[in-house]
Amino acid sequence: MQRTMSFRNDSKTLYLVATPIGNLSEMTPRAIEVLKAVDVIAVEDTRVTGKLLKHFEIENKMIVHQKHNEQASSDGIIKLLEQGKDVALVSDAGYPLISDPGQSLVNKAISHGFNVVPISGSSAILNAVIASGLDTSAFSFIGFLPIKQTECRLKLSEIENRQDTLVFYEAPHRLKKTLAIIEEELGNRYICIAREITKQYEEFIRGDILTIIEELDEVKGEIVIVVEGRKQIKHDYLNIDLIKMVQEEIRRGMTASEAIKYVSKQSGVNKNHLYKIYHSN
């Protein structure tokens, strides 16, 4: 067991500093104080963080810590801590480590006995969840889904039965394609798309996936997708009953695919489950 009291020892400290996700007014006084006090600030992009530091008149040295040099940079930062320097880690926006570099560094700092201290601030995840209108009692942050469609579908199949709210990041140019895959794998759930949070064009788009896909124009900016969890099925269906329901809709003129989708919506049973049992029959 390792037990560390951050402010009651002589060890040097790695600070994990959250930065604004858009509105600079959300930079906390403590974050400014820490960034002014440390010896070195590790950043993803010196141009992005440079603007932030200039705005708050912070002149401390910056070093680059990003995905492409994460391992080597982590070793270098550990050496700085060993030399008696305090270091702050920031990402371009929001919290370090959340879909951003830093995990390796934190693990190494902990294993070497250094303090690891989080400095609170803006979070796109939390902002999107609490404003979504969806259940906030339990939620899972998934991050970016895999770009490859097969891997994306596999990931969604792994989480399709979760009843907690699901939270994703997505790039604007992939939004509609990703929504279509989510609908195919998880069903036509209620969602909220949070865009450009805290910025001038902040927007929340709420509704079921199919309606949003049909009506949504091209969007820009930073995007968070909040998806309702799987609802508990109110009725227990035997597989044979589900197959009969699909067959009945086919007799009425639907294709097998249309019938499976229709019965999925009516029964609350996952579409992929229906597909498997129907075609294995």
107 and 23 fall within a common domain: yes
- Asked if 185 contacts 160 with a C-beta cutoff of 8 angstroms, the reply is yes
β-bridge pairing 203-208 and 190-195: antiparallel
262, part of any domain:
yes
151 and 197 fall within a common domain: yes
157 and 257 fall within a common domain: no
Q: What is the pLDDT of residue 39?
A: 98
115 and 134 fall within a common domain: no
- Asked if 214 contacts 120 with a C-beta cutoff of 8 angstroms, the reply is no
Decide: residue 49, CB within 10 A, 0-12 exposed, 13-18 middle, 19+ buried. Answer: buried
142, part of any domain:
yes
100 and 50 fall within a common domain: yes
Last residue of a domain, one of 122, 155, 189: 122
181 and 267 fall within a common domain: no
List CB contacts of 182: < 8 A, sequence separation 6 or more: 156, 189, 191, 209, 225, 227
250, part of any domain:
yes
94, part of any domain:
yes
> And the tokens for 174?
């992939």
4, part of any domain:
no
pLDDT digits (tens, 9 = 90+) for 129-149: 999 999 999 999 999 999 999
187 and 220 fall within a common domain: yes
Q: How many other C-beta atoms lie within 10 A of the C-beta of residue 220?
A: 11
177 and 223 fall within a common domain: yes
260 and 184 fall within a common domain: no
pLDDT digits (tens, 9 = 90+) for 78-130: 999 999 999 999 999 999 999 999 999 999 999 999 999 999 999 999 999 99
Please tell me what DSSP assigns to residue 173: G
Containing domain of residue 191, as a range? 125-227
7, part of any domain:
no
- Asked if 181 contacts 227 with a C-beta cutoff of 8 angstroms, the reply is no
Residues constituting the chain: 281
> And the tokens for 178?
């990703």
Instruction: Tell me which H or E stretch contains 152.
Output: helix 149-159
What CATH number is attached to the domain comprising 103?
3.40.1010.10
191 beta partners: 207, 227
144, part of any domain:
yes
Report the alpha-carbon distance of residue 179 to residue 173 in Å, rounded.
12
64 and 135 fall within a common domain: no
Q: Which amino acid is at 175?
A: L
3, part of any domain:
no
107 and 159 fall within a common domain: no
pLDDT digits (tens, 9 = 90+) for 34-58: 999 999 999 999 999 999 999 999 9
Last residue of a domain, one of 122, 153, 179: 122
Q: What is the pLDDT of residue 236?
A: 57
What CATH number is attached to the domain comprising 196?
3.30.950.10
Instruction: State how many domains the chain has.
Output: 3
pLDDT digits (tens, 9 = 90+) for 212-267: 999 998 899 999 999 999 876 555 566 778 888 888 888 888 898 888 888 887 77
- Structure pTM? 0.83
Residue located via tokens 């002589």? 10
